Homo-oligomer: A and B are copies of this chain.
Amino acid sequence: MTQFHTSRTRSTMREVAERAGASIKTVSRVINGEGNVNPELFERVMSAVKELDYRPNLQAGFLRRSDGKTQTIGLLVENISNPFSSALHRAIEDVARQRNVIVFAGSLDEDTHREQELTSAFFARRVDGLIIVPAGDDHAYLSKEQGAGTPLVFLDRPPVNLDADSVVATNFDGGFAATMHLIKHGHRRIAYIGDYATIYTGAQRLAGYKKALEVSNIAYDAAIVFQGSHSSADAQATLSGIFGGSSSPTAIFASQNFVTIGAIRTLHQLGLQGSVALVGFDEISEADLLAPAITLVTQNVTAMGESAAELLFKRLDGDDGDYEKKVIPTVLTPRGSGEISPKY
């Protein structure tokens, strides 16, 4: 015996009204706490609600309600199971919760087509606003929805061909700091490994890397710059062959969490973790437990998520000032792997 044999229909406001001997409008007043209802009537309505297990249909109300709010927002991230994405999600949920707003979330997997599909699915359900870590590199298609009154906040990566609010980290500065840190420890041959070249954050971090070489009078060598690794396995495959030669790198700057893990695995496998320096980007939960512990540049992910949500709700509250671009600083934490000096 399952629930489906006992399937009943859900009760409506009209049924509550009939049972309570009141008008539907009076029930609406009670449900929405509008006041100005005779205490006795109020009680009759409440009893009917209990007896019928009445649950208001928010969707129906939204159709007629003047503010047109569904108390729902959408969140699009790279991959909901990536720790970076899920930390953003949690921070946003916590802000939304305070306003009785619930969150739709979806993964884009760096797929432009998927981005358009999912934004469309969210708009069809009339989300009040959207926070997006975009996969695509052209957001002009969102301008009509934006014009129709749905606020958009771009998170981690800025919009392209569209004006909108955004929250980003200091990716360039972080890449610069990571590379300078290695240079200060004596390295002049530093490999770079990163995600797909098309991703904004990676490009910024790489630019920071280049700038650090430049100000230190070290020639940029494309032979030790590797882009296109999206998983730790990718990174491992890429890095495992680059050591051993006379001009192998003495240090690595790994520009993203999974890539950093791949770099760690490679060094451990080759027994080089004590001789090749490594600075990673993004949080890694057990960075302090490894030997050596991993020196990382990290973002304040919670602050990023919170800022994005607050920006969105400010718009929903009616703020129509200029678009804002919030920049959240990154921090380098030395732990060991980044302080290894080159062995010649």
- Residue numbers of A with Cβ under 8 A of B are 1-10, 53, 55-60, 62-63, 70, 72, 79-83, 85-87, 89-90, 93, 100, 102-107, 118, 120-126, 143-149, 151-152, 163-164, 261, 264-265, 268, 284-286, 288-291, 315, 318-323
Q: How far is the CB of A130 from chain B (nearest CB, A)?
A: 12
10 A-B pairs in the complex with CB atoms less than 8 angstroms apart: A1-B163, A4-B318, A7-B149, A8-B147, A58-B126, A80-B86, A81-B87, A81-B90, A264-B286, A285-B286
A326 to chain B, nearest CB (A): 15
- Among B62, B124, B286, point to the contact of A284 (Cβ < 8 A): B286
- Cβ–Cβ < 8 Å partners of A57 in chain B: 63, 124, 126
Q: Closest B-chain residue to A286, C-beta based? A: B286
In the A-B complex, list the 3 residue pairs whose CB atoms are closest, starting with the nearest: A4-B320, A81-B90, A86-B86
Known contacts A58-B124, A285-B261, A290-B289: A149-B4 contact under CB 8 Å: yes
Contact B286 A58 (CB under 8 A): no
Among A59, A82, A126, A288, the most chain B Cβ lie within 10 Å of the Cβ of: A59
Q: Are B81 and A102 in contact (CB under 8 A)?
A: no
CA of A339 to CA of B90 in the docked complex: distance in angstroms? 37
Given A72-B125, A102-B122, A289-B264, A144 and B53 touching (CB < 8 A)?
yes
Give the complex CA separation of A103 and B121 in angstroms.
11
Nearest B residue to A61 by beta-carbon distance?
B124
Q: How far is the CB of A139 from chain B (nearest CB, A)?
A: 12
Question: Does the CB pair A2–B122 fall under 8 Å?
Answer: no
B102 & A103 in contact (Cβ 8 Å cutoff): no
Q: If A10-B148, A59-B59, A107-B93 touch, does A102 touch B125 (CB 8 Å cutoff)? A: yes
How many angstroms from the CA of A22 to the CA of B268 in the assembled complex? 69
| Chain B, residue nearest A60 (CB) | B63
List the B residue with the shortest CB-CB distance to A301.
B81
CA distance A315 to B81 in the complex (A): 26
- Complex CA distance for A288 and B57, rounded to whole angstroms: 50
